[in-house]
Structure 1
C-alpha cells in the first residue's frame, strides 16, 4: 500500500455543515396554529363555563346554634353541637368540572333546566328565600308550641283564586285552607311540599273553612304559571299571623342560605336553647329536613351530599327524614343515620342519648 508523500494532505474533504432551515412554509404555519388552538382549548376547559349544566357538591356544615338566637329570654348552653348541612351549587361549570364530577361520587351533574324548572335565576333565589322565611316561622312555632309558649296556627288564608283554574268558584277569598290530603297546613310552603310529588291534573282532597263552615272536597291541580310543569291549587295564599308569647324574641341569622331544608335543625336548636337539659348529651348532631307547623319532617334533595359533608366534619349522628333515610344510610360510612318522621321523634331520640 502506497503512502502519500510527506506533507501531502489527503484529498478527502468533510461535508459542509447542514444549512439552517428557516421556520416557514405552509406546514410549519399549520403546526404553530394547531399548537395555539390546542393550548386555547385546554385553557378554555379550565376556565370557560359550559351552559346547561350545574354541579351539586357537599356544602358547608354550620353550627345552627349560632344562627338561631333567643333575645330577651333565658337560654341554656349545650356541651355538644347541632349542625345544619347544605349543598353547594356550582353554576359556572367547566369541562374539567364535568370530568371531576363524573369520577367523584360526592358530586352530581344536573341539567340547569331541571334545577330552575323554567324560572329565572332571580326567581329561583327569591323562591328559596321565601322558603327559608316560611321554614323559620314553622321552626319557631313548633319549638315554642312544644314548650307551651305558642298556640299552633290553623290554616293559611286564601287571597284570591286564579281565573279558569279548577279552584275558581269553589274556593273564595278569605277562606282558610286547613289541610291537603288530610294533612294540616299553616303556610304556603306546606301546601307546596304536599303537592311536590303530584302531577298537573291530579286530584287532591282539601279542607276549607268558609266563614264558620268547614268542608272537605276534591279539586284537580292546575299548572303553576310561574313554574311550568309544576302543580298548584289555583289559589294565592297568605301566611296567617302567628301567636307567639311576648318576651321570646327569636333572631335567625341564616344569611344567604335558602330553601326549607334547615327547618328541623332550626327548631331543635331553638328548643335546645330554651330547655335546661342538654339534648345533645355532649354529641355533635347534624341533619336535614323540612319542618311543617304540625311538626312533621319532610324529605329534601341532595341528602347524600349532606351526609358526606357531615362525615367530613366529624359529626357523630345524622338525622334524616324518613323519605331520605335509605339514601342517607347508603352513603354513610362512619356516621350513625337516624330516621326522623316528626319533631317529637327527634326530641325523643336526643333525650335517649343521655
Structure 2
C-alpha cells in the first residue's frame, strides 16, 4: 500500500495550526502573577435581607460588587489598556498555599461577620437592644509577604495584643493602627491548646495602612437580637464590603419613616461594631457599577473617597466614616 506524502504547503498548514493552538493555550492558561479586577453587579438590598415583622419598604438600596480572577496574558493586556480595570499582584491578595475552596471559606466568614455586625449596628442605631459575643480573633491565613509571615499561623487564636484583651477584629485593628507601620505588637496567642507569646512587626497593606498581613474572623461570633433577621447569601461570594448597605437596609425597615425618600442609593464599606466604616477593595469598579445602576448617591468609606471621585461622573459620592453620618446626610438632603 502506498502512503501519500504531504507536500510542503500541507506541512506548513499543520505547523501554523499547531502553533495557533499552542499559543492559545498559553494565552489562556499562563499565570502572570497578577489578578484582574473588573466591575460586577449591583444587588438590591431588599432582596438580600429578611426582617421578621418589618417588610421591605419602597427603597432602592444597592450593594455593589466587583469581580477578581487570575490575569492571563490576554487579560493582563486588556487590564493595561482598559481604564475601568485594575491589575494587582496575586501574592498581595491571596495567601500562598491556599486553594480555591479555602480562600472561598475565608471570604464566606468575612461575609457572615459583616452580616452580624450590620444587624447589631442597625438594631442599636434604631433604638433596639442587642448583645454581641465572640470567642476571640482567629487567624485564617497569613499573606506570604506580610509582616506576620512565619510568625503567626492558620488556627492561632489571638488573645491579647500589647496588653489589651482582643475579642473582636476591631480591637486588633485599633491596636495595630496605634502602633503604626514599623511598630511592634507583643501578642498572647493560643496555638493547638498551647499559650504562646510572640512579637510581630507591623507592616502595611496595598493602601499603605498599618497591617499584619493576616486574614481573620471573630471566632463563633453571635448576636442576641429582639428581631429575627436573615440574609440571602446565594448572590454574594463573600467579603465584608456589603456591611454598610446591609446596615442601612435593616435600619430603614426598623424605622417608621423611609429614610431614603425615593432616592436610588448605592454604597460600599465594612461595618464595624462601633458603627465605624472601614475601607474596601475595588472602589473604582464599584463606582462604574453604581452609575450603570443609575444611583443618585454613592456612600463610600473616607479612605476610598479620592479613588471614587477620580472616576465618578454621574453619581454623587459621599464619604462617610461612621454609620451615623449616613443617617445624618440622608436626613439633611431630605
Normalised-by-shorter TM-score class: 0.7 to 0.9
Find out whether 1:145 has 2:124 as its counterpart.
yes
Find out whether 1:267 has 2:247 as its counterpart.
yes
Distance 1:348 1:68 in 2: 23
**More divergent stretch after superposition (339-348 vs 99-108):** 99-108
> For the structure 1 residues 335 and 185, does the alpha-carbon distance in structure 2 shift closer, same or farther, using more than 3 Å as the test?
farther
* Offset at residue 98 of structure 1 (A): 2.4
**2:294 aligned to which of 310, 314, 319:** 314
Other structure's SS at 2:93 match: helix
Which residue of structure 1 aligns with residue 194 of structure 2?
none
Which residue of structure 2 aligns with residue 68 of structure 1?
49
Which residue of structure 2 aligns with residue 77 of structure 1?
57
Question: Which consecutive unaligned segments of at least 5 residues does structure 1 have?
Answer: 1-21, 168-172, 207-218, 224-229
Which residue of structure 1 aligns with residue 88 of structure 2?
110
Which residue of structure 2 aligns with residue 55 of structure 1?
36
Contact kept in structure 2, 1:304 and 1:327, CA below 8 Å: yes
Contact kept in structure 1, 2:276 and 2:323, CA below 8 Å: yes
* Offset at residue 36 of structure 1 (A): 1.7
Find out whether 1:277 has 2:240 as its counterpart.
no
Other structure's SS at 2:310 match: helix
Which residue of structure 1 aligns with residue 313 of structure 2?
333
Which residue of structure 1 aligns with residue 193 of structure 2?
none
Which residue of structure 2 aligns with residue 349 of structure 1?
329
Contact kept in structure 2, 1:134 and 1:189, CA below 8 Å: no
**1:292 aligned to which of 253, 258, 272:** 272
C-alpha RMSD over aligned residues: 3.9
Distance 2:9 2:250 in 1: 71
> For the structure 1 residues 335 and 122, does the alpha-carbon distance in structure 2 shift closer, same or farther, using more than 3 Å as the test?
same
Distance 1:64 1:109 in 2: 29
Contact kept in structure 1, 2:185 and 2:201, CA below 8 Å: no
Contact kept in structure 2, 1:281 and 1:353, CA below 8 Å: no
* Offset at residue 115 of structure 1 (A): 2.2
> For the structure 1 residues 347 and 194, does the alpha-carbon distance in structure 2 shift closer, same or farther, using more than 3 Å as the test?
farther
Find out whether 1:99 has 2:77 as its counterpart.
yes
Count of aligned pairs: 296
> For the structure 1 residues 204 and 325, does the alpha-carbon distance in structure 2 shift closer, same or farther, using more than 3 Å as the test?
farther
Which residue of structure 2 aligns with residue 124 of structure 1?
103
> For the structure 1 residues 350 and 181, does the alpha-carbon distance in structure 2 shift closer, same or farther, using more than 3 Å as the test?
farther
Other structure's SS at 1:90 match: strand
Other structure's SS at 1:82 match: strand
Larger Rg: 1
- After TM superposition, the structure 1 = structure 2 runs for residues 178-257 of structure 1, keeping only pairs within 5 Å, are 187-188=168-169, 191=172, 195=176, 202-204=183-185, 220-221=199-200, 231=212, 238-239=219-220, 241-245=222-226, 248-255=227-234, 256-257=236-237
Question: Which consecutive unaligned segments of at least 5 residues does structure 2 have?
Answer: 140-149, 188-197, 203-210
Report the TM-score when normalising by structure 1: 0.71
* Offset at residue 53 of structure 1 (A): 3.3
Other structure's SS at 1:57 match: strand
Which residue of structure 2 aligns with residue 11 of structure 1?
none
Off by >6 Å, runs of 4+ in structure 1: 179-182, 196-201
* Offset at residue 249 of structure 1 (A): 0.3
Distance 1:232 1:109 in 2: 19
Report the TM-score when normalising by structure 2: 0.75
